[in-house]
Structure 1
Amino acid sequence: MKYVLVIPDGVADEPQESLGGKTPLQASHKPNMDRVCKTGIIGQADNVPPSLPAGSDVGTMSLFGYDPLEFHTGRAPIEAAAQGIELGPDDWAVRCNLVTIQDGIMRSFTAEQISSELGAELLKSMQAAQPAGSPWQFIPGVSYRNLLLYRGEGQAAPFDQKTATYPPHDITDKEVDPWLPAGKGGDLLQELMKQSEGIFLSCDSNQARAGGVPPASGVWLWGQGKAPSLVDFKTRFGLSGAVITAVDLLRGLGRLIGWDVVEVPGATGYLDTDYTAKGQYAIETIKEKDFVVVHVEATDEASHEGNAVEKVKALEAIDREIVGPVHEFLQSQGEYRLLVSPDHPTLLRTKTHSHGYVPFTMCGTGIDADGAETYDEPTAAKSAISIPGHEVIPLLVR
């Protein structure tokens, strides 16, 4: 049996006036996802428990079959694993976004999709500004997604899991002051953020970005955590696995549960990603592995920008270039099951991740059709299947 999970990140949404009162899933032309639904089953899952932050770290962990209430320790340590960074028992990882704040307003949580090269240059300057023997270590990543490590070496960190930090993508176009780090160690994190403002201001290449793009104004620190302890996926489900993604969070989670991480040329983690290449790499990977995840960030990015048209376009590209070809191949090679599900809702109205149920659909060998016709939120809400997110993979493989 071969298994594939396709994740259109953040695709679940509300009805949109601009889409004629339909959700993006309802408004899009997605014959391949609808075919999965017609030949299989549909349901809804709650991937993000109310007590945890509404984000891909929690939602994806749940979607991979791990109860986040048991296993989740924070977003940043998962991304550290993506870079092969080992965290000791006294070490912490903190997510370090590069952002653009103007007049106290979060104008861009991506610093206008800053390049990885400029991001690395800015973080190198931040590291150079730290005193000798500092426990802080700035780690460049991809574009705006970077890390800050606290190397404890026997010393407790000045902050902990209860320190209040907030994802910058949740405060787009809002005043940032109410969302600054608070509680134990919050003042120290704020000091580092303030320090970055002066360093970024003095960087000529940041101030002179092409096309009149505003400079990155500083770092935004959030999502702190210590290394999680996850049971290997093959031990848990008896299946070898691989993940295809352009996002460090998914890479890290894949590595933590023993999966291979497949790098796809042209996969950007944005609207311009190479959907066709992702579909083709998925087909090649499933020839060698039992379980393959194909994650696409573009639908989530469109939501963060409040762009309904781009969200529909990205969804249709996922359907056309990934779900269709992968399903066709799976049918040709023997027994299979195919699952399509987002990790969480990302609302165009708020431009943020949200708690709430997401629709999933699955088809394949041994799955009898339940009579549903279309893959979307209203259809899923009528289903008799309404389960916690970490129960979806057991439902798929049993």
Structure 2
Amino acid sequence: MKYVLVIPDGCADESQASLGNKTPLQAARVPHMDEVARAGSVGLTDNVPVSMPSGSDVGTMSLFGYDPKVYHTGRAPLEAAAQGIQLGPDDWAIRCNLVTIENERMKSFTAGQVPNDIGRDLITLLQQQHCGDEHWKFYAGVSYRNLLLYRPRGGQAPFAADTFTTPPHDITDQLIEGYLPTGSGSAELRQLMDDSRALFADCEPNRIRLGRGELPVTQTWLWGQGRTPSLMPFQERFGVRGAVITAVDLLRGIGRLLGWDVIEVAGATGYLDTDYAAKGRAAIETLKGGADFVVVHVEATDEASHEGHPDAKVTALEEIDRHIVGPVHAYLKSQGDYRLLVCPDHPTFCRTKTHSHGFVPFAMCGQGISHNGAATYDEVAAKATGDVLPAGHDLMPRFIQG
């Protein structure tokens, strides 16, 4: 049996006036996702407990069959695992975005999709200047996505369960004052953020960006802190060998912690310009190479929502359908017994430009999965079936074992 999970990140949404009062999933031409719906089972699943912040770290952990209320410790340690950074038992990882703040509002949580080379230069500058010391170390990632590690040298870390930070993508266009870190260790985090603001004010990389008419990186934004979680390997739990295809460090990190192979794909950007066809080909080659279970994650749908662009979200869904779901499903059908699941991790609303809580639609088909009446894959069709999973981590056992 071969298994594939396709994650169109954040694709669940509300109806949009600009799309004729349809959701992006309803408006998109997705014949291959609709084929999955007609061939199998469609329903709703809630991947993010209301007591936890909505994000891919929580949502995908649920999707992979792990209760986030038990296993989730924070987003940053998952991304540290993706970079091969070993955390000690008392170490903390913190996500470090490069952002643009104007008039004390979050103008861009990506600093205009800052290029990798400039992002790396700025992270190096942070480490070389007074922002880094024997306790704090900055690690460059991809574009605006970077990490900060706190390694205690005797004594206890300043962070605790009451340390609260806010993802910058949740506050686009809003004043930042009410969203700065609070609780234990917040003074240290705020000071580092203020120090970066002073350091970046007149640095060479920003002069280059301003000269090109691009957004400057005005400071860092620190969030998502946590220590390494302890996760039972996926193969030990479900009996299948896994692999993940993604351009996002978060998913790479979860994959490594679960014992999956992490498949790198040239042209996978984690943005709307990603090479969808390359991801589809990589999934098929990974199945041919012996993997039992392959996850294909696409960030583009989520990015379109964060930018408030329903049309771009529709286009991304159609590209996922054409270049990933269609070819992968065709290959699976040609090889024997299989199961295919399409499901986002959480809703991301174009209206609010941020992640949300709530149910998302799933569709799965293949060996042993009966049809439950849906003709299309979308939020409305999923609700009509009456198949509802209040705990998202119950979906994977059904998919693999049910």
Band the TM-score falls in, shorter-chain normalisation: over 0.9
Give the Cα–Cα distance (whole angstroms) in 2 for the partners of residues 154 and 328 of structure 1.
57
- Give the drift of 1:161: 3.1
Match of 1:221 in 2: 222
Give the Cα–Cα distance (whole angstroms) in 2 for the partners of residues 131 and 182 of structure 1.
20
In the alignment, is the contact (CA less than 8 A) between 2:373 and 2:385 conserved in 1? no
Match of 1:25 in 2: 25
- Give the drift of 1:133: 5.0
Match of 1:232 in 2: 233
Query: Which stretches in structure 1 are left out of the alignment for 5+ residues?
Result: none
Give the Cα–Cα distance (whole angstroms) in 1 for the partners of residues 364 and 241 of structure 2.
20
TM-score (normalizing by structure 2): 0.97
- Give the drift of 1:211: 3.3
Give the Cα–Cα distance (whole angstroms) in 2 for the partners of residues 226 and 314 of structure 1.
34
**3-state DSSP of counterpart to 1:137:** strand
TM-score (normalizing by structure 1): 0.98
Q: Do structure 1's residue 273 and structure 2's residue 274 form an aligned pair?
A: yes
> Structure 1's 167 and 132: CA in aligned 2 closer, same or farther, altered over 3 A?
closer
- Give the drift of 1:92: 0.1
Q: Do structure 1's residue 318 and structure 2's residue 327 form an aligned pair?
A: no
Match of 2:175 in 1: 175
- Give the drift of 1:131: 7.4
Counterparts of 1:76-87 in structure 2 under 5 Å? 76-87=76-87
Give the Cα–Cα distance (whole angstroms) in 2 for the partners of residues 11 and 109 of structure 1.
19
Letter in 2 for 1:41: S
Could you report, residue by residue, the CA deviation over 1:32-86 in whole angstroms, capped at 9, with x for unpaired residues?
0000000000011000000111000000000011000110000000000000111
In the alignment, is the contact (CA less than 8 A) between 1:358 and 1:377 conserved in 2? yes
- Give the drift of 1:132: 8.2
Aligned counterpart for 1:374 among listed residues 373, 376, 380: 376
Match of 1:246 in 2: 247
**3-state DSSP of counterpart to 2:127:** helix
Give the Cα–Cα distance (whole angstroms) in 2 for the partners of residues 43 and 126 of structure 1.
47
Give the Cα–Cα distance (whole angstroms) in 1 for the partners of residues 168 and 132 of structure 2.
30
Letter in 2 for 1:115: P
Match of 1:352 in 2: 354
Counterparts of 1:263-342 in structure 2 under 5 Å? 263-287=264-288, 288-342=290-344
The size of the alignment, in residue pairs, is 398
Match of 2:398 in 1: 395
- Give the drift of 1:120: 1.0
**3-state DSSP of counterpart to 1:359:** strand
Could you report, residue by residue, the CA deviation over 1:212-241 in whole angstroms, capped at 9, with x for unpaired residues?
012100100000000100000000000000
- Give the drift of 1:207: 2.2
**3-state DSSP of counterpart to 1:208:** helix
- Give the drift of 1:384: 2.8
**RMSD between aligned residues:** 1.0
| Percentage identity across paired residues of the two chains | 62
**3-state DSSP of counterpart to 2:212:** helix
